[in-house]
Chains A and B, each alone.
Chain A
Amino acid sequence: MAQPAAGVEIEGLTVRFGPKTVLSDLDLTIAPGEFLTVLGRSGCGKTTLLRFVAGFTQAASGRLRIGGKDLTAAPPHKRNLGLLFQNYALFPHMSVFDNVAFGLTARGVAAAQIRMRVEAALRLVQMEASLRLPPASLSGGMQQRVALARALVIEPDVLLLDEPLSALDANLRASVRTELKALHERLPHLSIICVTHDQEDAMVLSDRTLLMREGRIAQLGTPQELYDSPRDRFVAGYFGAANFLPTSLVPRINGHAADHMICLRPEQMRLAPLGGGVIEGTVSNIEWRGASIALSVVPDGVPADPILIALPRGETVPERGARTGIIFRHEDAVLVGV
């Protein structure tokens, strides 16, 4: 499935539903072949963004270019996009084969060609054995693969996925996630926009992550950038667990404006003997997390939430109610706006 790579450019996108502004003045460029995940709370406008790209949502203003072509006014059937709906949307009255063949039929591809390409697409998702079955006889995971084959067989410029993993149970999620990643590696020219509300999806899958907040971009960058240098407290708190502490604890950044805090990840905190820590507090909760142990420590005197600490296994774990000191490396502390 080789094709010239197509990037996506969105410019000044504003979408309103009645009086409500769902997306405001959004600018976004997706490089050809890039895997972008769109992350954010429910209702922040992720689906709306995807539906705008697909042509199902009218924008109050804004432009869309795909592969350099202006598609702002193009109807959905002239956009050549692969769309995977949250509930798969397979056609119940058609067999698996006819479902996958649908897009090729719409493009007037010859029957022999259709047969070949449908079979190839179904092999790609390992569903070639179910050719003649009605979709209703397949499990959720299998239906999703068929829907994916149906979206891929038309060789779309961009693949749009709306929460592709959220309907699957935990075990299946992980394996489908791995498959999606493998798929992206096999089709390096295909740009993918994947909406999710799971930060783990974003970390595993994406080249870049767009974190949205109430219709605006909270931060756009690689998952590492979002994790290591969150722009503000919202990003830090949404993308991974985070502790927020007063800037006064770190002399290097002390004196900075009062509307900032320092952000530290749980794995950046260490226990210290009493008297030897930057902060002291009382252990209020202990949770075993498999690879690590999560401690909550209520700090003395510092106005903050309990501090989360991820202890590697094998370290001595204090008892609940014990008093302990906490240290961290000053260079790990990231200054974030509140």
Chain B
Amino acid sequence: MLADRTRHWRLLAAAIATLACAWLFILPVATVLLSSFAKRWGGTVLPTTLTLRWFERLGADDWSALATSLEVAAAVAVLGTVLGLWLALTLEERGRERGGALLDLLVMVPNGIPSVVLGLGILIAYHDVPPGFSDSGLIVLAAQLALVLPFCYRSAASALRRELVVLREAASSLGAPPAMVLRRIVLPQMAPAIRSSLAIAFAISIGELGATMTVYPPGFATAPVLILGEVERGYYLPASALSVLLLGCALLVLIGIALPWGRALAWSRTGRPSPAAKLASQ
């Protein structure tokens, strides 16, 4: 009786959560997807005629913005993850001393700063120092890196559990120098954290607008910047086409990151079939 009632409540909760998800996420995405294929959309619930027109009309600008977005996101993901890992590992070693907690806090600070303010700060601080820096795409990279670093650091730091410390000690007691401990123990053990760090940094970067808009130099644009420009001019349907492409690319990359590559590499030494290999053979 009681169990029955709790099950009802659970079902209701699940239904509400599903609805909320659909309303917040699936519906808008579906709308964008649909509108990118719509010849015209207005006055009817669903578009009347489907077309590839908006995709065919995408110009060199759009394609290069898409490429730029992917390049920047990839660079931000890799650099942010490496930096986050490095920070987490060094802070952990200093952890027991007093400086550790303060640095820990400092790394988190960009989280609390609005991205536009962060962008402005970077723009002013690095204006022409080093020369040409603020005129190149590097400044966008720097701004986005500052934005993603707290997330990358946090996922790396949370993976440095007590058990990992013991494994590292075991490895060094067996004669492994620090570099080997990092390569054979720490990195494979942190594979899930590295994956989530790559994914979150990539996802933040590919959709980033606030800091990017503040710092981007002339002649440099990411896909979101372009999309926003079209929306401001009222071109919703062409904006949808570019959005769908951006979404598709981001999804592909995120799926790529989520595949269990780390375990594939670790087990390949012993010749055991890895999950990735199994997946590939299906």
CB distance from A119 to the nearest CB of B (A): 14
Partner of A103, one of B166, B169, B174, B267: B174
User: What residues of A have a CB within 8 angstroms of the CB of B180 in the complex?
Assistant: 106
Query: B278 contacts the other chain (Cβ, under 8 Å)?
Result: no
How many residue pairs between the two chains, A and B, have CB atoms under 8 Å in the bound complex?
74
> What per-residue 1/0 map shows which CB atoms of A74-118 lie under 8 Å from chain B?
011111111101010111111101100011001100000000000
Size of the B side of the interface (Cβ < 8 Å), in residues, is: 23
Say whether A106 contacts B169, CB under 8 Å.
no
Say whether A102 contacts B184, CB under 8 Å.
yes
Contact status of A77 and B177, CB under 8 A, knowing A93-B263, A94-B266: yes
Partner of B188, one of A56, A76, A93, A154: A93
User: What residues of B have a CB within 8 angstroms of the CB of A103 in the complex?
Assistant: 174-176
Where chain A touches its partner, the secondary structure class is loop
User: What residues of A have a CB within 8 angstroms of the CB of B170 in the complex?
Assistant: 83, 85, 89-91
Partner of A77, one of B166, B173, B270: B173
Contact status of A91 and B173, CB under 8 A, knowing A97-B270, A98-B270, A106-B180: no
User: What residues of B have a CB within 8 angstroms of the CB of A78 in the complex?
Assistant: 175
User: In whole angstroms, how far apart are the Cα atoms of A76 and B184 in the complex?
Assistant: 17
Say whether B175 contacts A93, CB under 8 Å.
no
Which B residues, 226 to 259, have Cβ-Cβ distances below 8 Å to chain A?
none
Say whether B177 contacts A106, CB under 8 Å.
yes
Residue in chain B with minimal CB distance to A80: B175
Residue in chain B with minimal CB distance to A54: B173
Residue in chain B with minimal CB distance to A101: B269
Partner of B176, one of A77, A87, A97, A150: A77
User: What residues of A have a CB within 8 angstroms of the CB of B176 in the complex?
Assistant: 77, 102-103, 106
Query: A132 contacts the other chain (Cβ, under 8 Å)?
Result: yes
Say whether A154 contacts B175, CB under 8 Å.
yes
- Of B169, B174, B266, which is in contact with the most chain A CB atoms at under 10 Å from its CB? B174
Residue in chain A with minimal CB distance to B175: A106
Query: B189 contacts the other chain (Cβ, under 8 Å)?
Result: yes
CB distance from B261 to the nearest CB of A (A): 13
User: What residues of A have a CB within 8 angstroms of the CB of B175 in the complex?
Assistant: 77-78, 80, 103, 106-107, 154
User: What residues of A have a CB within 8 angstroms of the CB of B171 in the complex?
Assistant: 91, 102, 106
User: What residues of B have a CB within 8 angstroms of the CB of A89 in the complex?
Assistant: 166-167, 169-170
CB distance from B159 to the nearest CB of A (A): 13
Which A residues, 230 to 286, have Cβ-Cβ distances below 8 Å to chain B?
none
User: What residues of A have a CB within 8 angstroms of the CB of B178 in the complex?
Assistant: 77
Additional 19 contacts, C-beta under 8 A, given A93-B188, A95-B270, A98-B270: A76-B169, A77-B176, A81-B173, A83-B170, A85-B169, A89-B166, A89-B167, A89-B169, A91-B171, A92-B189, A93-B263, A93-B266, A93-B267, A98-B269, A106-B171, A106-B175, A132-B272, A150-B174, A151-B174
Contacts from A to B (Cβ < 8 Å): 54-56, 75-83, 85, 87, 89-95, 97-98, 102-103, 106-107, 132, 150-151, 154
